Structure 1
């Protein structure tokens, strides 16, 4: 029984140490309805996610508007029509808050680079 108690004691110390390391990195996130967030896209080779394919895919897609808070750690997003096959509820760890005006974000599709690696600078 002494060995069992010693093992339990050492496990408790180890768990406490690991929890203290994780608590330093953890940040409490909470979003409100109508907030704008970016959705994390997993960078996987050869797998097509959210219309992007390859090694140089962006890490985040969006911004998307939050429609509803399902539970404390899950939110429903307003996804565009081309993402109808994707379930709209995501865990909070996959979301990043959009700081600033979402209308001012330039999409990658709107930027065109020619074969000569030059672009045309057009004033707004």
Structure 2
């Protein structure tokens, strides 16, 4: 049908030819724009790190409720936690403590940071802070030594 319209010198044949050429130009410009956007967007993108099962990772605390008097003083990183498996390129399944049963164990790679081994001898890892589980604060502790409230905080 295109050949019939192009062979005709009728107004409809000329219009069809013109529309096809305009469509081709628009398609080429759109492809160039997509390539240009991709080039500028990829400048700020990083390849996600590839963690293996058994690796120890720190977990960002920004989406996990931690009971603290001030957000400024709360821990920014929780853990370290062990990677159980890689779900997809950007998500990992972590081994969380039993007290965190209401926290979903799959996290995006942007919330994870690899644990670096300490070069300081005899340094021990502190336990994770309390987490709100089913609207209650959960701790693992041996005994409470002392507590104090000052000025209502």
TM-score interval (norm. to shorter): 0.5 to 0.7
Indicate the residue corresponding to 2:55 in structure 1. 35
Indicate the residue corresponding to 1:46 in structure 2. none
- Corresponding position: 1:51 with 2:66: yes
**SS of equivalent to 2:51:** coil
Q: CA deviation at 1:63?
A: 0.7
Counterpart of 1:12 (choices 34, 54, 64) is: 34
Is contact 1:76-1:88 (8 Å) kept? yes
- Corresponding position: 1:95 with 2:104: no
Over residues 16-51 of structure 1, what are the superposed CA-to-partner deviations in whole Å (9 max), with x where a residue is unaligned? 33234124xx144011111100111227xxxxx243
Is contact 1:36-1:65 (8 Å) kept? yes
Consecutive unaligned residues of structure 1, counting only runs of 5 or more, are: 44-48, 116-124
Greater C-alpha Rg: 2
**SS of equivalent to 1:22:** coil
CA RMSD of aligned residues (A): 3.1
Give the 3 Å change call, closer, same or farther, for CA 92–8 of structure 1 in structure 2: same
- TM-score normalized by the length of structure 2: 0.53
Count of residue correspondences: 104
Give the 3 Å change call, closer, same or farther, for CA 27–79 of structure 1 in structure 2: same
**SS of equivalent to 2:82:** strand
Consecutive unaligned residues of structure 2, counting only runs of 5 or more, are: 1-21, 130-145
